[in-house]
Amino acid sequence: MEKPPPGDPRVFFAAERTLLAWVRTGLTVMAFGFVVARFGLFLRLLARQIGQGVDAAELHNHIATGIGIVLVLIGVACFIFGAVEHRRFVATLPAADVPRAQAAIFPVALSLLLALFGIALAVYLVV
């Protein structure tokens, strides 16, 4: 396989696509974590309606909430890992490979902003 010529922006854009893949993965894992956490609440309400013991329902709720919080934090880790790796890789590129009209900070800022929202969601689920 031949190497791309110098000044080829495809390498930079491939790095951005990789970062956005990490962002998609993080969002998916976070959303799944939120659903799992809220499913425990549904199980608790269902147990009360059918007259099952409240203790078992509370245990299921706590387990589901804990698993949901862990999944949300894994999603946050995906955001942070993707942003760090993207910045590390872009720093190794020659200046000719980075398009001038492209600000490399925007995808990283998006990733870190979503990480902050994920941390806020985890705190919300804890409370």
Find out whether 114 and 23 touch, Cβ atoms under 8 Å: yes
Give tens-digit pLDDT for 44-93.
777 777 776 667 667 778 888 999 999 999 999 999 999 999 999 988 98
- Of 83, 95, 87, which Cα lies nearest the Cα of 26? 83
pLDDT of residue 54: 65
Considering the entire predicted model, what is its pTM?
0.82
Question: What are the helix (H) ranges across the chain?
Answer: 10-50, 54-92, 105-126
